[in-house]
Amino acid sequence: MSSQEEEATQEGQSDSDVDYDYLESLVSEHVTGRESHVNAEAFRIDAYSVQDVLSTLKEEAGFDHLSVVTAQEYEDRFESIYHLKKFDDPTQELSIVVPTPREEPVHQSAAPVFTTADWHEREAYDLVGIEYEGHPDLRRILLPETWQGHPLRLDYNQDKPQIVTFEQHENPLEESLRDMENEGDRDTMFLNVGPHHPATHGVLHVKTVLDGEQIADLDPDIGYLHRCEEQMCQNGTYRHQIMPYPDRWDYAPSGLANEWSYARAIEDLEGIEVPEYAQVIRTMGAEMTRIASHMLAVATFGLDIIGDFSAVFMYAMRDREIVQDLLEDLTGQRMMFNYFRVGGVVWDLPEPRDVYFDNIRDFLEDLPERIDEYHSLLTQNELFQMRTVDTGYISPEAAKDYGTTGPVLRASGVDYDLRRDDPYGYYDKLDWDVRTREEGDNLARLLVRMDEVEESAKIIEQCVDLLEDWPEDDREIQANVPRSLKPEPGAEIYRSVEAPKGELGIYMRSDGTDKPARFKIRGPSFNNLHALERMSEGELIPDLIATLGSLDIILAEVDR
């Protein structure tokens, strides 16, 4: 065992139940080397055994969750990393590394094994330039097809102007007209939904092909909000300059959960132990953002289905506003909280503490009655039920295959929640439940969010009880963190948290400087939106609007 492995095991960062020697024996004919990442062991394999290796690990070892695909460039090679987990136990992790030479960055696609690899590999091709043989539809996903170069390559010229003639711009409608000349497409109609429409919840263009009134094909066109956040984080220092960025990924508002994803990754990478008092504050704040996020989802979903600025929208925005006030008191800001720091939080609870606790308790006390109101106004509404019951269905197997997480996955009956299954913060010391539904339709996804508001309220109440009785001389909000963080060169880690929309993960690789050599973001909305094509097949356009709303995506997190 290397010194890095020993350190990781001592700190509980590596799961001792994973028998990596056994896993290696399953695919030994394809393994060319082995690496130790902080979160898990990694096997290097040859470029054309990706499907064999992933199939074996999925079928025989139970690694059925492809969290994310990270592509990166070294001085001497390109590399794709497939981060694998198990839905039954996400603490069991394994990474599959596929190196390719610089002069020929090509290797086999994983899309035939995991559907979720489809979009992730398209992104890797788009930003880094690795090509995936056997991919069903390898084209750019975040940038236009006319874009020149790959922005995350070492030799990419950021000052080069992207000059594209008018004739080269893609015209989807013209393409559809060309398709209609084909014999098989004479009875279909191409329909653009978005990119600017209230029902798309942001700047999203959905290319839709209709057969009569039914959806025959669907292709979400994303990238309108792409700002290369990963590269911006790679240009920031670990200690201070990265933390403000996560708030921007989901600004509506999952900010504290987003900040936690980065905090967890760098703290585990550097072995920083966060004080218990700060962990309780983090847990309470993160659950407030979950309630605020779910309230916004309920409000806009009601708007999608019932139309107009209905009572449901007003009620949910009213309740969200109360949570926003509590978060503003805690963090000093209303949207871009920037409250977490590496090793803790920036400051203690607002004074006077008694008044702040009373305000939280007043909100929690009124919450059950207000949830009953939502059920009366929304879930028992006949029109709402017509658009949500048995529409947008996705089976548990398909939800896993697309890598969906959060309420989208739990609404299909998959009992997966990182707060319980890969515990962090103070969650494992509190009494609460993971709520699931079996129906897998649009209504189930809404009901899971409403159930989770109740669970978040339980967590917050317990945190308030703890904080209220916490000894004054033990209210430590920050660990002793060095002024400059420089992780060991070559150290790699993937860590994730349960954000309101699902698994939000961060991969980082250190080159020994105070900035990450590679920073990869796994946004839950990205995977959840990918599943829209499966959910909408054969549905009507009004069902598509309902299904899109039920996913509760935020385009800034999809595009990053």
Q: What's the 3-state SS for 318-383?
A: HHHHHHHHHHHHHHCCCCCCCCEECCEECCCCCCCHHHHHHHHHHHHHHHHHHHHHHHHHHHCCHH
- Decide: helix, strand or coil at residue 63: coil
C-alpha 266/C-alpha 237 separation (Å) is: 11
Name the nearest CA neighbour of 289 among 344, 334, 241: 334
Kindly give the confidence (pLDDT) of every residue in the chain, 560 residues in length, as a single tens digit, with 9 standing for 90 and above: 344 444 444 443 444 588 999 999 999 999 999 999 999 999 999 999 999 999 999 999 999 999 999 999 999 999 999 999 999 999 999 999 999 999 999 999 999 999 999 999 999 999 999 999 999 999 999 998 888 889 999 889 888 887 777 666 666 556 555 555 455 556 788 888 888 877 777 889 998 888 888 898 899 999 998 888 999 999 999 998 999 999 888 887 778 999 999 999 999 999 999 999 999 999 999 999 999 999 999 988 888 887 756 788 888 889 999 999 999 999 998 888 889 999 999 999 999 999 999 999 999 999 999 888 888 888 888 888 888 999 999 999 999 999 999 999 999 999 999 999 999 999 999 999 999 999 999 999 999 999 999 999 999 999 999 999 999 899 999 999 998 999 999 999 999 999 999 999 999 999 999 999 999 999 999 999 999 999 998 889 889 889 999 999 988 889 88
- Give me the CATH code for the 251-521 domain, please: 1.10.645.10
User: In the prediction, which pLDDT does 170 show?
Assistant: 62
Q: Which helix (H) or strand (E) holds 219?
A: strand 214-221
- The CA distance from 484 to 382, in Å, is 58
Rounded CA-CA distance 72/517 in Å is: 9
Cis amide bond preceding 195, omega within 30 = yes
Cβ proximity of 409 and 416 under 8 Å: yes
Torsion of CA 288, 294, 300, 303, to 10 degrees: -110
What are 307-311's contacts with CB under 8 Å, separation 24+? 310/377, 311/377
In angstroms, the CA 454 to CA 435 distance is: 10
Q: What residue spans of 132-254 are helical by DSSP H? A: 172-180, 229-234, 246-249
Beta bridge partner(s), residue 44? 33, 97
Residue type, 442: N
Considering only CA atoms, which of 105, 139, 152 is closest in space to residue 219?
A: 139
183: DSSP letter: G
Decide if 38 contacts 268 (C-beta within 8 A): yes
Residue 69 CA to residue 402 CA, distance in Å, equals 13
CATH code 3.30.460.80 region(s) in the chain: 20-133
**How far is the C-alpha of 408 from the C-alpha of 528, rounded, in Å?**
7
Residue 44 CB coordination number (10 Å): 17
Gap between the Cα atoms of 505 and 522, Å rounded? 5
Neighbours of 137 (CB within 10 A): 11
CA nearest neighbour of 494 among 88, 68, 113, 80: 68
Question: What does the DSSP 8-state code read for residue 487?
Answer: P
| Residue (of 554, 504, 506, 507) closest to 529 by Cα position | 554
CA separation for the pair 493, 506 (Å, rounded):
8
CA dist 22 and 42 (Å) reads 13
Which residues of the chain does CATH 1.10.645.10 include?
A: 251-521
Identify whether the C-beta of residue 547 lies closer than 8 Å to the C-beta of residue 392.
Answer: yes
135: left (phi over 0), alpha (psi -120 to 50) or beta: beta
Instruction: Specify the pLDDT at position 4.
Output: 43
The closest alpha carbon to 134, from 150, 160, 158, 114, belongs to 114
The gap from C-alpha 489 to its chain's centroid, in whole angstroms, comes to 27
**Distance of alpha carbon 139 from alpha carbon 123, whole angstroms:** 9
Taking residue 61's Cβ as centre, other Cβ atoms within 10 Å add up to 18
Cα separation, 297 vs 446, whole angstroms: 8
Query: Pairing mode, if any, of strands 131-133 and 106-108?
Result: parallel
DSSP 8-state secondary structure symbol assigned to residue 288: H
CATH H superfamily, domain 20-133: NADH:ubiquinone oxidoreductase Nqo5 subunit (3.30.460.80)
CA torsion, ordered 148, 152, 153, 156, to nearest 10 deg = 50
Q: Residue 505 forms beta bridges with which residues?
A: 496, 522
Alpha-carbon span 84 to 438, nearest angstrom: 25
Rounded Cα gap, residues 165 and 146, in angstroms: 9
Q: Which two tokens stand for residue 101?
A: 């030479």
Q: Which residues contact 360 (CB under 8 A, 6 or more apart)?
A: 326, 460, 464
Q: Which two tokens stand for residue 314?
A: 């007003």
Q: Please tell me whether the overall predicted TM-score, pTM, comes out greater than 0.95 for this model.
A: no
Hunting for tokens 């109440």 — which residue is that? 461
H or E segment at 555?
helix 555-559
Please state, in angstroms and as integers, the Cα–Cα distance from residue 141 to each residue in 127, 206, 246, following that order.
9, 13, 22
Whole-number pLDDT of residue 3: 44
- H helix runs in 396-490, sequence order: 396-401, 407-410, 418-421, 442-468
